[in-house]
Structure 1
Amino acid sequence: MSGQKLSRTKRTNKKRVNKSHNKHSRLTKGLQIGGIIIGILVIIITILCFYWAATAPKVTNAQLTGTSQSNILDSKDNVIWTSGSEKREIAQQDEYPKDLKDAVVAIEDRRFYQHGGVDIRRIFGAAMANFTGSSLGLQGGSTLTQQLVKQTAFSSAIADQTFKRKVQEAWIAMRIEKQYSKAQILTLYMNKVYMGSGAYGMKTAANFYYNKEMKDLTMPQVALIAGLPQSPSGYDPYSNPSGAKYRRNQVLDAMAEYGSITRDEASQYKATPIDDGLVTDHTEQNNEAETAKVDDSYITSVLAQVKAAKYNIHQDGLTIKTNLDPDVQSKAYDVVNSSANNKYGISYPDDEVQAAVTITDPQSGNVIAQIGGRNQDTLQGLNLATSTQRSGGSTVKPLIDYAPAIENFNWPTYRALDDSSSFKYSGTDLAAGDAGMTNSQPYSKKTGQPYVSMRNALTRSLNVPALHTLEGQSPISATEHDEYVGHAKASEFLKKLGMTPKLSGSSAIGFNVSTEQEAAAFSAFANGGIYYKPSYVKTITTQDGIVKSMDSKGQRAMKDSTAFMMNDMLKSVISATGTWSLGFSQYQTDDYVQGAKSGTVAYPADSDYPSSAAQDLWFTGFTKSAAISVWTGYNEPMSVSKPLDGLSGPTAHLPNEIYNTLMKYVMTHDNRDGSDWNKPSSVRKVTKNGQTEYEVAGEDFNDPFSNRLPRIASNSNSQSSTTIASSSTIYSSISSGSSQTPNANTNVVTPSTTIPDSNQGDRSTGGNNTGASGGNTTPDPKSN
């Protein structure tokens, strides 16, 4: 028995030994496999590093001594702008004083004289400092030699901050260390770095900031100069004196730690005011050539796009080819900056009135010209063409009201819309109405025609149908209301067109927008429904020869049926004639087919300005191959002595006259395609009330028109439905008893806290026409 127990014990121990042995074997085997994998990875990385080093850019002496300035080119490869407005001054080695050299080494690369181009100890130290939050991390991991390489051969774009780039940067730095002495490398660096305010190199910076030779700089001034390269704008002593002082003091502390000065001296120097000796007048820099103003607004937009792509225009030595058409840009500048009595016949009332223009190619999103202001005194100031501080008035109606209605509900161009009574803003007693609707003209409330077709509402720019389309207060019966777009669907549609405005109760008849946004949005109508983000830059070429395409990638924003039907209705804005047209038929031509929309924003009803005055005037139009958006107004509209005309009068036509002059030039300049749009298969052509209309093919739409007939009949003493339906026609004659004349600007929105009575609103020809607008609780002046 005992033998059996012993035998069983032996067998158990044997099993345990085997299990332990198996575990040890698996662990050993796992470590071996892991080691093999790591070894393979090391070999692969080593091979890659050797390959990347072998294929690194070749850096010549000319590149090392040359500037890191960037050039902007137009579409014909002409240089139109170069970074850095100050002349770059090259200093010899012996011109740099010892204090300045010590300051640069102390703050940027304290082991500069010990390493061979790459400082492994520094890399680990910087990594540890970044991890612990220590101030030692202020030097970063790159040596001065690596920084020289970066500024000579590579860009600072985040997309280029790759492991491959770091390997190549280190390899080139080590090669440079073998070819140049430390003194030469330091001089090359100090001559090349961007120092802010258009100055390249420390000799240039000494003259710009202090009007001194480098040898005459005080120690605090030396420290400021040495600290600028890390962040020229962040440490700019003019725009950010607190940041400049912080950085200067960092340099002084680093110099004390390096041994160049004592800690007591550092404390003494830090007490010096940051503006001590700072030059405040840069006359030469401010005397810009007049020719620079022609392209200035466009260049401002180019710089913004380059910055958004994470490139540094002042340090990366970029070659930026743009989509700018120099001929169109010159023409636009000439037209906008003409005097009152100019050859174009445009009635500028004075030199203070402003104008902004953006011209795009609908087929690509390329911005071919842009003017951001009139008679501008300074360069790279506020670009009014991209500013969203002014309401677009009725130019937004196609974008927020009617296109989303077609997109979501398949509304046909003849769809009946309610204009029977004033629209009351939600939660208020404030109302808006359409002017001139109480007379005996072919369409009026008095004659019992309370409904109007969508085409007619858009062509005549009526406010109430637009408000009902977005907000939805139109009754079909005692218990039913007509379908409407609503803010959610409108916002979704606008977002696809690059706009995200905050919508209110009055947004249907105006929200804040820019000419850039409108030109891009209307382009989506012109090209069949594709939205292209406005693009100023075609390609960016870095110093190492890498070319990056910046072409805009189109995204479908709407169905082709929506785009075509909107095009056709917007064509009616131009082609319509007669009493209820807006008077733009004079711009119709056989040379090209175009659609357009105007917009007028009136003064608040409680202001001291007449009801016929306008704060903002807009006109946005397009062909297949060009979209042009124009805004005109004053920078401070509430302080002008004589405002623009919102109704009849010479200045009421400013934006459409600018548009017409430029569209004629653009379309003939390059023989652009001005043909009519082909009807897509998704649209069906129909005849309604004697005129051509369109509807979405194969789709049903909610048409409450028949439900409205009894109500119309009772209101109009049994007027026939045929007569009612004919309200969709733009009449070509004026009744004999009328003295009214066509007017080019009838689409006025008034931001107001006092709303006129209900039969007033959109400025149509004739009638009492002070407009109205409002918000969800109170009218929103900013959105009209």
Structure 2
Amino acid sequence: MAVLKLIFWSSAALLSALLVGLSGTFLYLSPSQPSVEALRSIQLQIPLRIYSRDEKLIAEFGEMRRAPIRFEDIPRDFIEALLAAEDDDFENHHGVDLRGLMRATSQLVQTGQIQSGGSTITMQVAKNFFLTSERSFSRKLNEILLALQIERELSKDEILELYVNKIYLGNRAYGIEAASHVYYGKPIQELTLAQLAMIAGLPKAPSAFNPLANPERSRERRDWILGRMLRLGKIDEARYQQAIAEPVDASYHVAEAELSAPYIAEMARAEMVARYGSAAYTDGFRVYTSITSERQNAANAALHNGLIEYDQRHGYRGPEARLGDVPQEELRKALATLRPLSGVHPAAVTQVGGDSVRILLRDGSERSLSWDSMSWARPYLSASSMGPRPQRPADVVQAGDLIRVRFNDEGQPLFSQVPAAQAALVSISPEDGAIEALVGGFAFGQSKYNRAIQAKRQPGSSFKPFIYSAALDAGYTAASLVNDAPIVHVEESHDRVWRPKNDNNTFLGPIRLREALYKSRNLVSIRLLQSMGVDATLEYLTRFGFNRQDLPRGLSMALGTATLTPMDVTAGWAVFANGGHRVEPYLLTRIESRDGELLYQAAPRRVTPATTEPEATAGVSDSIVAPMAEPAEQVIDERTAFIMTSMLRDVITRGTGRRAMALQRNDLAGKTGTTNESFDSWFSGYNAELVTTVWAGFDQPATLGRNEYGSTVALPIWMSYMGTVLQGRPERLPAEPEGILTLRIDPASGRIAQANTPEAYFEVFKAEDSPPTMQELGVGSRPPGSPLPADDSAPMDLF
């Protein structure tokens, strides 16, 4: 009896001590416990997603792949699989599983360390959201207390929703919806029972049970979970047998971009980081850009095809590697180190025949490469010379060569190579500066350098229209005569003599400004700048948005020796296209929070008032239309812009841009540009809807080769793009502004023509700058070719 009393009182004392200890622990830890209420408004990390204006996914940025899912959208089979694997008593306990805790306590007593946590799903929620992964007694007590508190304040459904969206499931996938896309490439609602059980097995050890890294262990884990579901009565025998018979069919899936625009994506990412810092990657922002998929795809194709065409004109530079006669396994390993670049894929030559070549592709398949696709491959010697034309495949390749191929529309491989030259294309709306399409180079995977906004190059003759615009605003007219003749300029500060010349080293004598522009006469541009004054012209050019530091203070500026990016040039040309207004190029149209709240809406300055009508572009959301904004600043006379457009249309119909007539449109204006030794090739052009600039050249300046100009490299790319995006769209010419006169002009004098003047033509003038008639000059009927009287007051007669 005494022994029983001793045992009773000892047990009571021990229990009291335990209760006191637990109470003390609770009182000690309770003040530092976080508020469970915070879980209701928890912000899970969600990556930044970039979209086009027509809502095509361009890119996703962020360390964690996550797509939160609501509890009601979780398949019931997954919930049962998860509970069978992690916490089969979840529906009944109050946050703590006493049996699991006793097991963990026993392990702690025996080893001095916590081996298994005995954690319920609620305890894992407490740890994942509020605590660290440290294995310590104090952390476990905090976890228990938090779990009890969570169970009091949240429902079981809320706890499960938090858990399935937070857990790490391998391969940067956080949450079950992200894991479903990573391992199976589809939403979790579309998975089979076996696939759901596979994902349910990942929380315990995402690396050990990963179906990609350890398919056998993941199968064992999956089948164990299915067996637990059967024993718990959650599935019947038939479903169990069907599920365990399924193969492990997981494979790695990444979020596929719906639109290839990597340079755009990087520009948007950089702007978001500038706005929000590191939160840009985690707060689930959805960013919509101004580009459309149709125009961006056209830009990609135009630039890639144009560079490949230029590259093949200059011959084959040889294989990327020559491995010789090695086993196919060696070729496979070598191919695995090479990436496709903008549709140009690596391949290995396995056999060379008389009229074809057998190649091994990166995916392990073998194909036949026809001789017809190889016949262009004359050996590259220099930018201006090639070796003899090959007669058979063996003249080009040999077994063991690592080469590149493209695929035509029928899926047949074509012999190719990665272009050595680079290019950039920028297309903007002249109405508000919205970037409609942009490509910064041949392949972002080859070089992340965005030549569209970072490469400052000399624009050559594509800069001349800005000089001519200054002349029109200084009193010259399109009919003004300027002498295209040799000029000698002495630079006293450098003690040297400069003798500029035209590109063909010819001189045409007195020539009208219109003709001088479409024939791109260098000496006329220089004389105009000399007449207006360098400093006054520099001041005028800043109206187009150019940084004065990028403009040289000298007569060479007339030949395009400024250093400008393609974006700079395009923005400047927009002034001509929109009637004389300056617009600022912009990319982001709106930013939304993870909940769809509008955080930012672009309000660019517009040439025409913003409308509440949706833009007439298929697939573009009505909600993207910009709000009312201030009008764009008028920086040059709209009549000057109108006359410049008229003159630049002649460049297309009569001058260096004649190739563009193949587009069969009458609303196009533009100008070629080629710098010394053909280091840079340019074409800028527009109609009232789009302004587009193309640059091509080498990153390290070098000649593009003999007979390569703006009209041969840049213009074909421009034509391919503009021809595609404007196809079927009505022609858009600027409306004639008030104060414009159209007069019949004598081509030899630039004066108003008499009735019997041969070859007279119609010219447009500002009303105040219209030229005098011959009678006003005191001259009667003038025989053709006879000299004009002196007229010192007329700036048009600058010889």
Would you say 1:364 and 2:432 are equivalent positions? yes
CA contact (8 A) 2:673 2:709 kept: no
1:631 and 2:703 correspond? no
1:459 CA drift (Å): 1.8
One-letter amino acid of the structure 2 residue matched with residue 298 of structure 1:
I
* 514-523 vs 415-424, which moves further: 415-424
In structure 2, the CA distance between the partners of 1:417 and 1:316, relative to structure 1 (3 Å rule), is: farther
Output the CA distance in 2 between the equivalents of 1:464 and 1:632: 25
Query: Which digits, 9 at most, give the CA deviation of each residue in 1:288-343, with x for residues without a partner?
Result: 8996782111222223444455575313322222222212211221222238776x
Partner of 2:52: 74
1:386 is displaced (CA, Å) by 1.2
Q: Which residue of 2 aligns with 1:493?
A: 543
Is the 2:678–2:709 contact (alpha carbons within 8 Å) kept by the matching residues of 1? no
Instruction: Tell me, yes or no, if the aligned pair for 1:625 and 1:674 is still in contact at 8 Å.
Output: no
| 2:601 maps to 1:549 | yes
Distance 1:64 1:98, change over 3 A: closer
Distance 2:710 2:430 in 1: 29
| Counterpart residue identity of residue 645, structure 2 | N
Any conservation in 2 of the 1:498–1:533 contact (CA below 8 Å)? no
Q: Which residue of 1 aligns with 2:452?
A: 385
8 Å contact 2:296–2:436 — kept in the other structure? yes
Indicate the structure whose relative CO is greater, using CA pairs within 8 Å and at least 6 residues apart: 1
Q: State the secondary structure of the residue aligned to 1:679.
A: coil
Question: In 1, distance between residues paired with 2:65 and 2:261?
Answer: 21
d(CA) in 2 for partners of 1:405, 1:200: 63
2-side partners of 1:389 and 1:94: how far apart?
Answer: 58
Q: Which of 553, 565, 573 is 1:504 aligned to? A: 553
Partner of 1:531: 582
The equivalent position to 1:297 in structure 2, one of 260, 263, 279, is 263
Partner of 2:367: none
For residues 599 and 291 of structure 1, the distance between their equivalents in structure 2, rounded to whole angstroms, comes to: 35
Is residue 697 from structure 1 mapped to residue 761 from structure 2 by the alignment? no
Aligned-residue offset at 1:358: 1.0
Change in CA separation of 1:431 and 1:87 when aligned onto 2, cut-off 3 Å? same
Distance 1:86 1:468 in 2: 61
Task: Please say if 1:332 is aligned against 2:281.
Answer: no
Corresponding residue number in structure 1 for 2:281: 314
| Partner Cα separation in structure 2 for residue 596 and residue 298 of structure 1 | 25
1:353 aligns with 2:421: yes
The question of 1:414 aligning with 2:449 is answered no
The alignment partner of 2:665 has SS state of coil
The residue correspondences of 1:549-698 to structure 2 (distance < 5 A) are 549-554=601-606, 555-556=632-633, 557-576=635-654, 581-582=655-656, 584-585=658-659, 587=661, 589-602=663-676, 613-638=677-702, 643-645=703-705, 648=707, 653-668=712-727, 671-689=728-746, 690-698=760-768
Counterpart-to-counterpart distance in 2, 1:394 and 1:630: 13
Question: How far apart are 1:457 and its partner, in Å?
Answer: 2.8
1:680-712 Cα distance to aligned partner (Å, 9 max, x none): 113222232223323222369999xx99x9xxx
Change beyond 3 A, Cα 1:104–1:684: farther
Counterpart residue identity of residue 634, structure 1: F
Give the RMSD, CA atoms, in angstroms. Answer: 5.4
TM-aligned CA deviation for residue 100 of structure 1: 11
Note the alpha carbon deviations across 1:240-282, whole angstroms, 9 max, x for none. xxxxxxxxxxxxxxxxxxxxxxxxxxxxxxxxxxxxxxxxxxx
Q: What amino acid does structure 1 have at the position aligned with 2:601?
A: S
The letter of the residue matching 1:395 is S
Contact 1:599 1:617 in 2 (8 A): yes
C-alpha distance in 2 between matches for 1:685 and 1:176: 85
Structure 1 residues 583-592 or 565-574, which shifts more? Answer: 583-592
The answer as to whether partners of 1:405 and 1:485 remain within 8 angstroms in 2 is no
Partner of 1:733: none
Kindly tell me: are residues 430 and 215 of structure 1, through their superposed partners in 2, closer, same or farther at Cα, counting changes over 3 Å?
Answer: farther
Structure 1 CA distance, aligned partners of 2:465 and 2:723? 24
What is the rounded CA distance, in whole Å, between the counterparts of 1:302 and 1:568 in structure 2? 36
Structure 1 residue 536: deviation in Å? 1.9
Give me the whole-angstrom Cα distance separating, in 1, the residues matched to 2:307 and 2:534: 45
**Match for 2:650: what amino acid?**
S
Among residues 482, 495, 498, which one is paired with 1:431 in the alignment?
498
* In 2, Cα distance between equivalents of 1:601 and 1:436: 10
TM-score by length of 2: 0.50
- 1:339/1:385 CA distance change after superposition, 3 Å: closer
Q: Deviations over 1:728-767 (max 9, x none)?
A: 9xxxxxxxxxxxxxxxxxxxxxxxxxxxxxxxxxxxxxxx
Residues 290 and 314 of structure 1: CA distance in aligned 2, closer, same or farther (over 3 Å)? closer
Question: Aligned with 1:313: secondary structure?
Answer: helix
Amino acid at match of 1:616: D
For 1:457 and 1:178, the matched residues in 2 are separated by 82
Q: Does 1:374 align with 2:433?
A: no
1:25 aligned residue: none
- Summarize the Cα distance change of 1:645–1:292 in structure 2 as closer, same or farther, 3 Å threshold: farther
Amino acid at match of 1:70: L
The 3-state SS of whatever aligns with 2:696 is strand
Q: Compute the displacement of 1:417 (Å).
A: 3.4
TM-score, normalised relative to structure 1: 0.51
- Cα offset, 1:645, TM superposition: 2.9
Q: State which structure, 1 or 2, has the greater radius of gyration over its C-alpha atoms.
A: 2
Does structure 2 conserve the Cα–Cα contact (< 8 Å) formed by 1:392 and 1:512?
yes
Per-residue deviation, residues 543-572 of structure 1 (Å, max 9, x unmatched):
454423214213223221121111111111
* Pair 1:466 & 2:525 matched: yes
Do the aligned partners of 1:535 and 1:551 also contact (CA within 8 Å) in 2? no
* 1:358-402 residue CA offsets vs partner (Å, 9 max, x unmatched): 1122223221111111134258x2111112422212212223x12
Q: For residues 737-748 of structure 1, what are the structure 2 equivalents within 5 Å?
A: none
Q: Deviations 1:149-171 (Å, cap 9, x if unpaired)?
A: xxxxxxxxxxxxxxxxxxxxxxx
Q: 1:491 & 1:596 partners in 2: Cα distance?
A: 18
Amino acid at match of 1:514: T
Which residue identity is paired with 1:614?
A: S
What one-letter code is carried by the residue in structure 1 that aligns with 2:570? A
SS of 2:454's equivalent in the other structure is coil
The residue that corresponds to 1:159 in the other structure is none
Q: Aligned partner of 2:604: which letter?
A: S
Inter-CA distance 524–650: structure 2 relative to 1 (3 Å threshold): closer
In 2, Cα distance between equivalents of 1:176 and 1:654? 69
Provide structure 2 residue ranges, at least 5 long, that are not aligned to the other structure: 1-36, 69-85, 87-120, 135-141, 143-149, 179-201, 206-250, 316-416, 607-631, 747-759, 780-784, 791-795
1:584-625 Cα deviation digits (max 9, x unpaired)? 2553554341111111122xxxxxxxxxx4211111110111
Per-residue deviation, 1:491:
4.5
Q: Residue 771 of structure 1 corresponds to which residue in structure 2?
A: none
| Distance in 2, Cα, partners of 1:331 & 1:599 | 22
> Deviation of residue 416 (structure 1)?
3.3
